[in-house]
């Protein structure tokens, strides 16, 4: 008989995927905006630029001026992806080599530090604290708890944190794991067609 915690994780993952799919369909229900001006560039080139060069720290003023937060965010998201990979291997019963486990533990630790530092920044900076909503805190605490328990906790507690995280994915701002790609693609396609992306390649018909 399958482990109840494993069944819970699988059910929660199904809930998260179904919720994200529903959100995707709701977004697509708005339809495509009719564009009447002749294209000055290529939408595909704009999409490629949006997911590559436009992601560099130097391409975004908000990142250039907050490099420590950018680094913390990279560590945080890297730790989360590492934790999800470890979760999948654990559910499949795979035995990982010791050197790889050491690397995974290091990445999880960096992810915890990144998440904790971003949470402290939100708590300590008045301008961020004033803009914050309970969802902002939950969307940090749930993944951070997932990382902490992946690194240090008993398996049942890690599974429980996973279930709570997956249930919350389509309900709060963690849904950006889907909408980041949707919005980024739309941004790249729109400004690529207008010739703004890639920068410096405007062609006037």
Q: For the segment 136-194, what is each residue's pLDDT rounded down to a tens digit?
A: 999 999 999 999 999 998 999 999 999 999 999 999 999 999 889 888 998 999 999 88
Residue 204: pLDDT over 50: no
145-184 burial, b for 16+ CB within 10 Å, e for fewer? bbbbbbbeeeeeebbbbbbebbbbbbeeebbeebeeeeee
pTM listed for this prediction: 0.85
Which residue, 101, 90, 71, 119, is CA-closest to 6? Answer: 90
Which residue, 168, 187, 186, 190, is CA-closest to 177? Answer: 168
Residue 8: pLDDT over 50: yes
pLDDT of residue 1: 62
Residue 6: pLDDT over 60: yes
Residue 40: pLDDT over 90: no
Q: By mean pLDDT, which of 25-29, 125-129, 145-149, 161-165 is the weakest?
A: 25-29
Which residue, 35, 14, 13, is CA-closest to 159? Answer: 13
Mean pLDDT across the chain: 90
Q: Quickly state the pLDDT bin for 202 (edges 50, 70, 90).
A: very low
């Amino acid at each position: 008989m399958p482990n109840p915690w494993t069944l819970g994780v699988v059910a929660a993952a199904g809930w998260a995927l179904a919720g994200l799919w529903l959100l995707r369909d709701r977004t697509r229900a708005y339809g495509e905006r009719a564009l009447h001006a002749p294209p000055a560039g290529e939408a595909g080139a704009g999409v490629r630029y949006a997911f590559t060069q436009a992601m560099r720290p130097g391409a975004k003023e908000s990142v250039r001026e907050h490099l420590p937060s950018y680094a913390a965010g990279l560590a945080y998201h890297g730790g989360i992806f590492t934790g999800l990979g470890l979760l999948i291997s654990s559910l499949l019963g795979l035995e990982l080599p010791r050197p790889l486990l050491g690397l995974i533990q290091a990445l999880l630790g960096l992810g915890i530090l990144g998440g904790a530092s971003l949470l402290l920044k939100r708590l300590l900076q008045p301008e961020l604290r004033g803009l914050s909503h309970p969802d902002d805190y939950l969307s940090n605490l749930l993944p951070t708890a997932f990382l902490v328990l992946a690194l240090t906790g008993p398996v049942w507690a890690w599974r429980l944190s996973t279930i709570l995280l997956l249930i919350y994915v389509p309900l709060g701002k963690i849904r950006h794991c889907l909408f980041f790609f949707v919005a980024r693609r739309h941004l790249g396609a729109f400004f690529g067609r207008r010739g703004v992306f890639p920068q410096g390649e405007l062609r006037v018909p």
